A = this chain, B = another copy of it.
Amino acid sequence: MSVMEISHRAPEIEFLLADTVERTRRLLGLGDDAEVLLLQGGGSLQFCLIPMNFAAAGDPVDYVDTGYWAQKSIREARALGRDVALAASSADQDYAYVPDAASIRPRPSARYCHLISNNTVEGTQFHQLPDTGVPLIADMSSDLMSAPFDPDSWAMAYAHTQKNIGIAGVTLVVLRRSWLDAIPDGLPAMLDYRTHSAHHSNFHTPPTFSVYVTWLMLDWLDREIGGLTAMGAINRQKAGTLYDYLDSTAFYQCPVQPASRSLMNVVFTLPSADLLAEFLAAADQAGLAGLAGHRSIGGCRASLFNGVTQESVDHLVGFLDAFAGQHQPGRPGLLSTQPDSPSQPVNA
């Protein structure tokens, strides 16, 4: 029988769960004060569990508004009747940046301050963290395990696994053990973090195959890649290759301010809607999938999660340059090596 078939009470599955937690602890450098849970429901379920577990109705809870996903997290806290305030927002420039660490000012009474560490839709990412005295919670669904992690910065961090550490079905939650003591009684068992903590993430049948894939990914990160510092260097190089190319052309534009640019999701635009449609069709033909921007904002987006290689990024840049060369009369591709397309300066 495979991991998909054996009982979730079998020693093999108990080992799988415990070792997935252990691998997470090692990679993230967690101490004994940190609890690791493997849950279902994605980041979206966390949006309601966090206010339910860590604040009562009417309690102050602060959020950093960085766009699409941040607003979803805020909506859930408001719907639950918590007193939500914005600790910072980048709405003034259409979310083309993330607020500077120093500008993030939650109310001192806030139970927590929540932010989305990497914003997949807008292509922004926090590269500096605020130190506000208020416990910080991060949705790291799209960048946990993509770079080194500082356990001391966070009261809680969580990530669904399908971006950087596996397939859909599991959500990894890291939180301070002392926080569990503050959870109010009376929550439904499945919605109370203490239930999953007490049962070592085996209160009910876990999604065993998805956990197994994450277990494999964590081993790959640890032993093949060499840990999160090495992974972070690879991801910086991948993103650097792409941003450097985009910044070298006038054909493509990256709307995100340089200091806030995401290493995971590189957002860019083309000169016109017609060219965008042609670009996406040509990319698809070239085997470059998923380059359409999020349906809420359009444009283009290249996602460079852990599984994407430097070679793939190089291939993408080659494609971008060839496409630009074909659609700018008199401006052959910058990277073109064809004899009839001599390289020439940008904006020539």
- Number of copies of this protein chain within its complex: 2
Instruction: Evaluate contact between B213 and A4: CB separation under 8 angstroms.
Output: yes
**A43: nearest residue on chain B (CB-CB)?**
B204
Q: Which residues of B contact A234 (CB under 8 A)?
A: none
A132-164: CB near B (< 8 Å → 1, else 0) gives 000000000000000000000000000010100
Instruction: Evaluate contact between A44 and B190: CB separation under 8 angstroms.
Output: yes
Interface CB pairs A-B, < 8 A, 20: A4-B168, A5-B167, A6-B290, A41-B204, A43-B204, A44-B189, A44-B204, A48-B190, A52-B188, A76-B190, A79-B188, A79-B189, A80-B188, A167-B207, A167-B208, A168-B209, A169-B207, A191-B191, A207-B207, A210-B210
Q: Contacts A204-B42, A295-B9; is A210 near B169 (CB within 8 Å)?
A: yes
Instruction: Evaluate contact between A205 and B290: CB separation under 8 angstroms.
Output: no
Answer whether residue A194 sits at the interface, using C-beta atoms and an 8 A cutoff: no
Give the Cβ gap from A312 to chain B, nearest Cβ, in Å. Answer: 12
Answer whether residue A220 sits at the interface, using C-beta atoms and an 8 A cutoff: no
Instruction: Evaluate contact between B209 and A76: CB separation under 8 angstroms.
Output: no
A198-232: CB near B (< 8 Å → 1, else 0) gives 00000111111110010000000000000000000
A328-346: CB near B (< 8 Å → 1, else 0) gives 0000000000000000000
Instruction: Evaluate contact between A41 and B44: CB separation under 8 angstroms.
Output: no
Q: Which residues of B contact A203 (CB under 8 A)?
A: 44
Answer whether residue A249 sits at the interface, using C-beta atoms and an 8 A cutoff: no
Shortest 4 CB-CB contacts between residues of A and residues of B: A48-B188, A169-B207, A44-B204, A40-B40
Instruction: Evaluate contact between B191 and A48: CB separation under 8 angstroms.
Output: yes
Residue A207 contacts which of B9, B72, B79, B210 (CB distance < 8 angstroms)? Answer: B210
**A8: nearest residue on chain B (CB-CB)?**
B168
Residues 25-73 of A at the B interface (beta carbon under 8 Å): 40-45, 47-48, 52, 72
Instruction: Evaluate contact between A189 and B42: CB separation under 8 angstroms.
Output: no
Chain A interface residue bracket vs B: 35 or more
Q: Which residues of B contact A40 (CB under 8 A)?
A: 40-42, 45, 169, 207
Q: Which residues of B contact A160 (CB under 8 A)?
A: 205
A1-26: CB near B (< 8 Å → 1, else 0) gives 10011111100000000000000000
**A209: nearest residue on chain B (CB-CB)?**
B167
Residue A169 contacts which of B43, B52, B209 (CB distance < 8 angstroms)? Answer: B209
**A3: nearest residue on chain B (CB-CB)?**
B167
Cα separation A16 to B88 with both chains bound (whole Å): 40
Q: Which residues of B contact A281 (CB under 8 A)?
A: none
Residue A205 contacts which of B168, B189, B209 (CB distance < 8 angstroms)? Answer: B168
Instruction: Evaluate contact between B289 and A1: CB separation under 8 angstroms.
Output: yes
Cα separation A203 to B7 with both chains bound (whole Å): 29
**A77: nearest residue on chain B (CB-CB)?**
B188
Residue A186 contacts which of B4, B5, B41, B79 (CB distance < 8 angstroms)? Answer: B79
Give the Cβ gap from A144 to chain B, nearest Cβ, in Å. Answer: 15
Q: Which residues of B contact A191 (CB under 8 A)?
A: 48, 191
